[in-house]
Structure 1
Amino acid sequence: MKTVIRAFFRTVRTVLGPFMLLKERLTQPSGVVREPSAQTTVNLQCKNLVLYQFNTCPFCIKVRQEMRRLSLPIEKRDAQHNAAYRAELLQGSGATKVPCLKITDATGQSQWLTDSAAIVAYLRGRFAKV
């Protein structure tokens, strides 16, 4: 039964995926325009962030749209098609749930946010005022 359910959802993703990606591309928000020095600061802060995601996941699309709106150059890792990234995600967060934002602090400690609403709230709280 589990195999049938997975096959069903894989088929749905295959059929709807291109339409979701097209909608994402057509509805891209315009990014925040910051002073060059402020954007440089944001770019440096984003070096400590990594988004683990699937291309056609609607929750990942929501996070990517917010990243565009806030002009955040956060590294994106496709955990669906890259086994190494999937393994990192599983080891770090304990699950392969996406979207997942890895936040590394100055001491090298990592925190993992696994809910799209929490990720968007974190990004807005940290970068909307900069």
Structure 2
Amino acid sequence: MKPLIRLFFKTLRVLLGPLMLLKERLTRPAAIQRAAEKQAEVERQCQSLTLYQFRTCPFCIKVRQEMHRLGLPVEKRDAQHDEVARSELLQATGATKVPCLKITAHNGSIEWLGDSGKIIDYLRQKFPA
């Protein structure tokens, strides 16, 4: 029974995944416009951020949409298909739950922020529109 359930959900992901990605692209919000020097500072700050995600995860799509709206060039790592990214996430957080934002501070300390709502709140607070 368990293999049948897994097959069902895998088939569902294969069928719905491309539709979800298409919807993401078609409904992408316009990025906010900043002065060149402010955008350069935002880009510098974003170098300390990494988003661990699955491409077709609805919560990851929600975070990516907000990152696009805020004009944030955050590095994205696919924890579903990239074994290195998956093992980094698992080792650091104890789970492969996505989305998860890795925040590296200036002193080298690392904070992991899970849950799409918390990630979006953090991004909105750090990079106000």
Say yes or no: does 1:36 pair with 2:75: no
Aligned 1:80-91 pairs, distance under 5 A = 80-91=80-91
Relative to the length of structure 1, the TM-score reads 0.95
Name the Cα RMSD after superposition.
1.0
Q: How many residues align?
A: 129
Report the CA distance shift for 1:114/1:5 in structure 2 as closer, same or farther (over 3 A): farther
Q: Could you list the runs of 5+ residues in structure 2 that have no partner in the other structure? A: none
How far apart, CA to CA, are the structure 2 residues paired with 1:97 and 1:8? 21
Identity %: 61
Which blocks of at least 5 consecutive residues in structure 1 are unaligned?
none
CA shift digits 1:83-115 (9 cap, x unpaired) = 000000101111100000000001111111110
Compared CA separation, residues 3 and 107, structure 1 to 2 (3 A): farther
TM normalised by structure 2 equals 0.96
Determine the structure 1 residue equivalent to 2:97. Answer: 97
- Following TM superposition, by how much is the alpha carbon of 1:12 offset from its aligned partner in structure 2, in angstroms? 1.0
Q: How far apart in 2 are the matches of 1:21 and 1:87?
A: 25
Q: Residue 70 of structure 1 corresponds to which residue in structure 2?
A: 70
Distance 1:3 1:108 in 2: 43
CA distance in 1, matches of 2:127, 2:2: 41
Alignment of 1:8-19 (within 5 A): 8-19=8-19
